[in-house]
Structure 1
Amino acid sequence: MKNKHSDINTIIITNRNLNQRIDNFLNSKFKKIPKSFIYKILRKGKIKVNKKRVKPLYKLKINDEISIISSYLYNEHKTISNIKKNKVAFLNKLILYEDDYIIVINKPSGVAVHGGSGLSFGVIEGLRSLRSNCSFLELVHRLDRSTSGLLLIAKKRSALKCLHEQLRNRFIKKDYLALVHGIWPSNLKIINAPLKKQISLYSSSRSMVYVDINGKPSETYFQVKEYFRSTTLLKVRPITGHTHQIRVHAMHAGYPILFDGRYGKNSLDNQIDLGLNRLFLHAHALTFLHPKTGVMTYLEAPLDTILIKCLTNLSLNKIKI
């Protein structure tokens, strides 16, 4: 139902959608609008239920009135899509692999995977802008904004379903390179510590994750690659895939990742002059079954110049243990 005196579209919830999450309801109803944009306008309060702002997890009740400003929903999204093309053209140069089913890019540190929390766009919105003829583009998994490396995107719904199933069954292997403070014990190979996320009262973008006995089971494998005078280069493989998992597990072990602004130690970072100004965590390798052919696929993402320079500087101080 559309209000004749405004641009507000009102939807009345019936028994058919009882207890459905509002984010899932909206994503199903407005399939041509990217999910990230739906979440963004929900957070901004541009979509209201019974004239009140609600969270994406809100479960619908019978006779709930959902109010949507139609022009904002479509025109604002169209505007964002148009203005960012010249800003996201660099993404084309980061593509390591692409076919009819998937795209794999080497995401830079500092670039978010999706818009929201003050960001007008991220990798997925940028790719949708650059691939306007592609009717389907969705993130298979996520990377922290400060983490660089391999990011997998599905170009077909069937591919997304297949890859998500592989994630659930732990068929997809993701290997990271992390540089941590201190001399990591060679016998410390597994950290199995439950994690719990705590949302900030002031900003969801500043949520923190803690080791908590009541948290979600979380497991990470660590392997020493090289020792330096006061740091260790690790190969890391998360078995579960929770928010900030590697960063929190490294901190929990007592060896925080260099230049981790959220879980690291500034006092330690300030003692090291390596030309580094970003988190040293890089999604280095990805192994998965191709969603169409079923062929085992292995991809690597090279380090950026900042991380290469850092390791070059450190190579002068290698040690053996």
Structure 2
Amino acid sequence: MSGVQYIEVDSDIIEQRVDNFLISKFSGLPRSLIYRWIRKGELRVNKKRVKQTDRVTSGDIIRVPPFILETDESIVKIPSQHLDFLENRILYETDDYIVVDKPSGMAVHGGSGVNSGLVERLRQLRPKVKRLDLVHRLDKETSGCIILAKKHSSVVYFFDLFKQRKVDKIYFAVVHGLWDKNIKKIELPLKRTLSKSGERIVKVDCVDGKKAITNILNVTYIGKNFSLLEIKLETGRTHQIRVHCQMSGHPIVFDKKYGDSEKDRSLNGLKIDKLMLHAYSLEFFDSKKNEEVKVKADLDSRIKRILDLKD
């Protein structure tokens, strides 16, 4: 785009983050570029500077600085066999949203060295759908259920459900050691911060941290060295399960950020090295269908292989 552009926010938009609105408006627009505009004060809403977390609504006027997008020819085309693979991982779909069993190792968004993530691939799989927006997130190495909205009204609906904690989320995690079955709830406040190297990490912070509660529903021992945890989240903080397990003395297997690399080496013979964390199920109320929806994603082969261990 060669010059400054002024965009009026669509009539169906209510309280959407400004970065997410622009990404849905301009396919291929890098999130990092938007944040650069915000830092420099070049991106404005109703003539005022904005923050990364500011939201826009119907009728707002956004000033967008000049920029150049990659041409369609540079967009990574996903092979048809992989699209077929992704089609088979769709767990539930309506006109308003879609629930997918995200594979471990697939980022939710392209960027930072990743040509295309789950969102970009699903857009190629569903080319007639005008928009596909994440309503929550999963780490790249975490597999399992994730919801994407096809309409802004659905984005708002699910954001509200998650905010009110009306989405039940069940995870399975394989951790090192034999978990004490008396530990059924972990309440440790968490805060996002930067390490000395500049890496984003989450730490327990009893002063400035946000409330974080993890419930352990069931524990199954795997031989003498591992435990399978069935987990229900009461809050949904970044890296919550991973940090809570680490602080309980039982890091998740193959967690490269919060785990134990020495103990992980004992599993080299399995020829897998992906985080042993799986979003098993989601349950929520669909107001249009007027019914409870429960979606499950079976454990994949990487976790099933470790379940077969005897010692």
Fold shared by both chains (TM-score > 0.5): yes
Distance 1:274 1:104 in 2: 33
Preserved contact between residue 223 and residue 236 of structure 1 (Cα < 8 Å) = yes
Out of 196, 216, 225, which is 1:230 matched to? Answer: 225
Q: Quote the residue 2:178 is aligned against.
A: 183
Matched, 1:85 2:83: no
Residues 112-191 of structure 1 mapped to structure 2, 5 A cutoff: 112-191=107-186
Distance 1:292 1:310 in 2: 40
The CA deviation string for residues 294-319 of structure 1, in whole angstroms up to 9 with x for no partner, is 3111111012212112112x2x34xx
The CA deviation string for residues 92-125 of structure 1, in whole angstroms up to 9 with x for no partner, is 2211222212211111111001122222221111
* Equivalent position SS for 1:124: helix
Q: CA deviation at 1:217?
A: 0.9
CA change 1:159–1:46 in 2 (3 A) is closer
Residues 10-21 of structure 1 mapped to structure 2, 5 A cutoff: 10=4
Structure 2 unaligned blocks of 5 or more: 8-15, 44-48, 55-61
Q: CA deviation at 1:210?
A: 0.5
CA change 1:55–1:86 in 2 (3 A) is farther
- TM-score, length-scaled by structure 1: 0.79
Distance 1:155 1:8 in 2: 30
Q: CA deviation at 1:49?
A: 3.8
CA change 1:25–1:257 in 2 (3 A) is closer
CA change 1:202–1:252 in 2 (3 A) is closer
CA change 1:26–1:175 in 2 (3 A) is closer
* Equivalent position SS for 1:270: helix
Larger CA deviation: 134-143 vs 194-203? 194-203
Residues 1-321 of structure 1 mapped to structure 2, 5 A cutoff: 8-10=2-4, 24-25=17-18, 28=21, 32-34=25-27, 37-42=29-34, 49=40, 57=52, 67-69=65-67, 72-73=68-69, 76=70, 78-79=72-73, 81=75, 83-86=76-79, 89=83, 90-199=85-194, 206-213=199-206, 214-228=208-222, 229-272=224-267, 275=270, 276-312=272-308, 314=309, 316-317=310-311
Give the structure with the higher percent helix.
1
Preserved contact between residue 17 and residue 53 of structure 2 (Cα < 8 Å) = no
The two structures, once aligned, show a CA RMSD in angstroms of 3.1
* Equivalent position SS for 2:274: coil
Distance 1:50 1:164 in 2: 28
CA change 1:202–1:11 in 2 (3 A) is farther
Preserved contact between residue 48 and residue 66 of structure 1 (Cα < 8 Å) = no
Preserved contact between residue 40 and residue 115 of structure 1 (Cα < 8 Å) = no
Bigger Cα Rg: 1
Q: Quote the residue 1:18 is aligned against.
A: none
